[in-house]
Amino acid sequence: MKIKNIFFSLGRSIAASFCPGCLKNDSIFDHTIASIPEASGISYCAFTNTLVVANDEGKFYEITPNGDILAIHSVGNYDLEGVVCEDDRFIFAIENGDLLGVNRKTLQQNLYPLEKIKKLGKKSGIEGIAKVGDNYLLTIQTKDKEEASFMLVAITEGKTKVLKAIHHGIIDSAGLDYKDGILYIVSDKKDKLYLYDLEKEKEIKKIKLPSLALEGVALDEKGNIFFADDNGAILRYTLEELKLGK
């Protein structure tokens, strides 16, 4: 049974308590489809036409593209910072760099520890994940442009192995998605969406977004783009609205 989203049924005055920034601008409210506390990552599941949303409290939510909450699950004491939806499992990025696999049917968990690298902490933790081919791209949170980078990693022999580091120079990259050779990256500090050509390792476009606590981004197959806001909202725009075509 669908869990009806209470965000709209309680009206704008109560909605403000879930997402304090959402009502400062009617356009933000109009694009808000769901209320999820501390939303830290989002991914589109093409196989089921649903979205999965991770939060900082070790929970994840399965929702429809219209924002109806279908299920809520807890994975335990993990600070989930991003998620990738695959046909048979979810892969969550944990702040320390480990990956957590969760079977979509049984919810069985497998932890894939990150091989030893420079210690990641609160000021330089993992903030987002995207799948690229058979591997995964992790983005590292930092406000230092010189240190802003991705890690290309693979899950092998029960561990997360670093294959390559890619410097991108985007301050406070907090979430990302990959589609048709392009990375879509949101910066929390800058309130911007960046388009990045992964093959050329080059930023190709940036778009100013409303002032939000941006933590995640996902694109579906129907020309929509979704954002996860740490203040407690999931927002949906069309690519046309952001002047990205389609």
Asked whether residue 75 is domain-assigned, the answer is yes
Asked whether residue 158 is domain-assigned, the answer is yes
Q: Which of 22-31, 43-52, 85-94, 112-121 has the lowest mean pLDDT?
A: 22-31
User: What is the residue-averaged pLDDT of the chain?
Assistant: 86
pLDDT at 19: 43
Asked whether residue 106 is domain-assigned, the answer is yes
3 state SS of 97 = coil
Asked whether residue 182 is domain-assigned, the answer is yes
Where does the pLDDT of residue 5 fall: very low under 50, low under 70, confident under 90, or very high at 90 and above? Answer: very low
Asked whether residue 124 is domain-assigned, the answer is yes
14-70 pLDDT, tens digit each: 344 344 444 344 577 889 999 999 999 999 999 999 999 999 899 999 999 999 999
Strands 50-55, 39-45: parallel, antiparallel or unpaired by DSSP? antiparallel
pLDDT at 2: 45
129, two tokens? 């994940």
166-196 pLDDT, tens digit each: 988 888 898 999 999 999 999 888 889 999 9
Dihedrals phi, psi of 221, to nearest 5 degrees: -100, 10
Q: Domain residues for 10?
A: 6-238
Query: Based on the structure, what is the number of domains in the chain?
Result: 1
Using a pLDDT cut of 90, give the percent of the chain over it.
65
Asked whether residue 204 is domain-assigned, the answer is yes
198, two tokens? 């992964």
Dihedrals phi, psi of 17, to nearest 5 degrees: -70, -25
Asked whether residue 1 is domain-assigned, the answer is no
Which CATH number goes with the domain that contains 143? 2.120.10.30
